[in-house]
Structure 1
Amino acid sequence: MYILVTNDDGVQSPGLLALRQALDTVGETVVVAPERNWSAASAARTLFDPLRIDPVPMADGRQAFVCSGTPGDCVALALLGFLELRPDLVVSGINIGPNLGNDVSYSGTVAAAREGAMMGVPAIAVSLDGRRHDDFKPAAAYAARLAQAAVRHGLTPEVVLNVNVPRGPIRGVLVTRLGRRIYRDELIVRHDPRGRPYYWLGGGEPEGELTEGTDTAAVAHGYISVTPIHFDLTDQRWLERLQHWRLDV
């Protein structure tokens, strides 16, 4: 198995290193990751500026490749020809912090995996409900097991497996649907020495509705959630409703 490993926290993230080391036990890995943190960049792509990729050592001394662009750029460049071999799987993570529910619309971690899937390579996104100092080994070990299962059972690029691992003891694994995150965003206004305003988008940690069967509930109760997500955002109910709106020109 040949695995492309990437993330959105940057090439020196401890989560990326732990993920690669775990995936090394199941296949050959190559890392192409962004040079800086692109959290909440979603599926941003660089279209009007040149991109660069350079070799760089990771914390364990092994070579990775650092890209000047977004997480999506990293995967696109890798699959469009930077890599001589086409990967069998793309694995993105381990993100520092969860990507639950509607987080997937913002997540650069998930976007990198989706880029792989859109280009025809099965993909997994892995996130940890923790912080930079946390132990990533349990999440990495599970990602390696899931990678093996994905290839063995024929995961297709029609879906991305979005994996979230709880902090603390893990009670098990649940296959879930996306839940709903509750954001507590606020606009923070400050002023520079000349009196001009500048702004921070801040707020407390988001919470999640704990509806049974959702990823938000699973992680809150100590379970790893595995959620298959796909690209068809069509609301099937509204397809029928809109037929009655008399939208003809």
Structure 2
Amino acid sequence: MNILVTNDDGLSSEGLQVLASALSRDHDVWIVAPSMNRSGVSHGITMDEPLRFKQSGPKEFSCTGLPVDCSITGSQGIMPCIPDAIVSGINRGANLGTDIVYSGTAAAARQASFAGIPGIAVSLVSKTDEYLWQPLAGFIRDNLSALLSLCARDVFVNVNAPSISEYAGVRMTGVSRRDYRDSILMHDGPDGCKYSFFRGGDIQTDGDEKSDFEAVESGCVSISRIASQPFALEPDAGQARLFRL
């Protein structure tokens, strides 16, 4: 197959390079990834300035934009044909539950699903800051056909796994809810402006036994099918009477 590999950690990320190398054993792999770390940019897209792509290998490019930019231009402008799949990762760190909203890794796969291209987001969870990339890269390579069978237009697949050498199993999962307990530190600057500094907190995760979080905690690979399209709650015509014109 023709596969586009991207991420949000940047072209130099070890996880991306290990994944691309594993997939290259059986497929024609192109890499289009951000030129710098773009974690947490969600589904941002660059619309008001041109993007610059620098070639660093026969089928490898860095992009000054965001992961979604890489997904769009990589598949429509850089590659000579529309890819059979877009695989985003391997992300350094979890993309569990609520993380998916913020994740540039997930956004690149979501964008693929909007375009009718199978999209897979892949993330590695470590509690010790030691990342064993090879087991997860091998899992994606060996199970690529099965993962692609779970994709559909407006549905992408989100894969998370613990950073261990051997997995306890594979689970199809729902998503957990993450409370980040973040805070903002404010300072008055010498120029008369106020400056804010983001401070990450201790994440609290809520999820039942079928959640992605519990699967990873149990040493398993978590596979979730994620709907890409936003949806509204069932409309209640009576609520319109709350408003005045």
TM-score by length of 2: 0.90
Distance 1:167 1:150, change over 3 A: closer
Distance 1:123 1:194 in 2: 46
Partner of 2:239: 245
Distance 1:41 1:29, change over 3 A: same
Structure 2 unaligned residues grouped into runs of 5+: none
Distance 2:218 2:150 in 1: 30
CA contact under 8 A between 2:147 and 2:157: conserved in structure 1?
Answer: no
CA contact under 8 A between 1:96 and 1:128: conserved in structure 2?
Answer: yes
Distance 1:2 1:74 in 2: 16
Partner of 2:185: 188
Q: What displacement does 1:245 show?
A: 1.5
Q: What displacement does 1:80 show?
A: 2.2
Question: RMSD between aligned alpha carbons?
Answer: 2.1
Counterpart residue type for residue 200 of structure 2: G
1:231 equivalent in alignment to 2:234: no
Distance 1:232 1:67 in 2: 26
1:54 equivalent in alignment to 2:54: yes
Partner of 2:22: 22
Distance 1:89 1:103, change over 3 A: same
1:219 equivalent in alignment to 2:219: no
Q: What whole-Å deviation, never above 9, does each CA across 1:147-202 have from its counterpart, x for those lacking one?
A: 23234x47323310000111235211100011111211011234556675422111
CA contact under 8 A between 2:16 and 2:90: conserved in structure 1?
Answer: yes
CA contact under 8 A between 2:97 and 2:212: conserved in structure 1?
Answer: yes
Q: What displacement does 1:220 show?
A: 1.8
CA contact under 8 A between 1:26 and 1:148: conserved in structure 2?
Answer: no
1:166 equivalent in alignment to 2:133: no
Structure 1 unaligned residues grouped into runs of 5+: none
Distance 1:64 1:90 in 2: 14
1:87 equivalent in alignment to 2:75: no
1:176 equivalent in alignment to 2:187: no
**Identical aligned pairs, as a percentage?**
36
1:109 is paired with a residue of what secondary structure? helix
Partner of 1:33: 33
Counterpart residue type for residue 123 of structure 1: G
Counterpart residue type for residue 243 of structure 1: A
Q: What displacement does 1:82 show?
A: 2.3
Q: What displacement does 1:210 show?
A: 3.5
Q: What displacement does 1:92 show?
A: 0.1
1:111 equivalent in alignment to 2:107: yes
How many aligned positions are there? 241
Distance 1:246 1:68, change over 3 A: closer
TM-score by length of 1: 0.89
**2:142 equivalent among 125, 130, 145:** 145
Counterpart residue type for residue 203 of structure 2: P
Distance 1:145 1:166 in 2: 17
